[in-house]
């Protein structure tokens, strides 16, 4: 028997179990990461489990991965609650998704490939250790998180059933990779921070590949095109209507 591997596995389970014990159903719990894994950036994150979540049952829940904007970077998870999915979840304890909302360190960016890799590893960890319906995993993000959303679905399209990037942008060359994924894009027509052409370029690239893309351009919105989007029940109904094939 390889005792080194056994001890390592036991320590991993112990550390992960300790993080599980702080999780409260129906509320967002702060998970502080300290993995000592040099291959990944430790991303602290908010985790929400629906009121109906039951670790012992057979049911599995859809999951939303949320990526915040550049102003919410740092080392205080309260910042992540200012906008988007974490803000919605704080108001709606019965929100019917598992949600994970990592915080990007101040020194990094969701556009950084190393940080994207760390987000993917975090997501894979949650998928393996919680009762997630792996056919209903969704990703969304705003501004910097919109860029991160485009980049991550291009890296690992098989992980996601649908995506909703908001006021972001990506690489049009990725259209061929993600054309089969349902993607709902949002942007403000008067956005002067990230111009709407960033989203339009991705939409046009997907349309050329006959992709499953839809585009909502708010005619009077500036950079904040996310508040209206995340408060719209149609977004969550749309997510739930999408499954991986």
pTM for the predicted model, two decimal places:
0.89
Could you read off the pLDDT of 125-149 as tens digits, one per residue? 999 999 999 999 999 999 999 999 9
* Residue 192 · residue 225 · CB < 8 Å: no
d(CA 181, CA 192): 28
93 confidence band (pLDDT: 50, 70, 90): confident
Q: Which domains does the chain have, with CATH numbers?
A: 3-240 (3.40.50.1820)
d(CA 46, CA 60): 19
Q: Is 147 left (phi over 0), alpha (psi -120 to 50) or beta?
A: alpha
Both tokens of 162, joined, read: 């649908």
Q: Is 74 left (phi over 0), alpha (psi -120 to 50) or beta?
A: left
Instruction: Go through the chain and tell me how many residues it has.
Output: 245
Could you read off the pLDDT of 54-64 as tens digits, one per residue? 888 889 999 99
> What is residue 9's predicted lDDT score, i.e. its pLDDT?
37
* Residue 211 · residue 179 · CB < 8 Å: yes
């Amino acid at each position: 028997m390889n005792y080194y591997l056994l001890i390592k596995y036991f320590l991993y389970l112990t550390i992960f179990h300790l993080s599980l014990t702080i999780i409260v159903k129906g509320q967002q719990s702060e998970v502080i990461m300290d993995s000592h894994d040099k291959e990944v950036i430790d991303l602290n994150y908010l985790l929400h489990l629906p009121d109906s979540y039951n670790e012992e049952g057979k049911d599995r829940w859809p999951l939303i991965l949320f990526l915040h904007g550049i102003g919410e970077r740092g080392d205080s998870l309260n910042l992540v609650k200012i906008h988007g999915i974490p803000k919605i979840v704080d108001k709606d304890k019965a929100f019917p998704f598992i949600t994970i909302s990592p915080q990007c360190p101040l020194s990094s960016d969701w556009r950084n490939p190393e940080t994207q890799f760390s987000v993917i590893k975090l997501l894979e960890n949650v998928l393996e250790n919680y009762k997630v319906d792996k056919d209903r995993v969704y990703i969304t993000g705003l501004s910097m998180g919109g860029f991160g959303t485009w980049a991550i679905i291009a890296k690992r399209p098989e992980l996601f059933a649908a995506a909703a990037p908001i006021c972001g942008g990506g690489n049009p060359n990725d259209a061929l990779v993600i054309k089969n994924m349902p993607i709902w894009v949002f942007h403000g027509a008067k956005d002067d921070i990230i111009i709407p052409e960033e989203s339009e370029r991705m939409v046009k690239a997907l349309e050329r590949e006959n992709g499953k893309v839809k585009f909502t351009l708010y005619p009077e919105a500036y950079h904040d095109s996310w508040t209206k989007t995340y408060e719209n029940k149609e977004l969550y109904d749309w997510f739930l209507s999408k499954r991986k094939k």
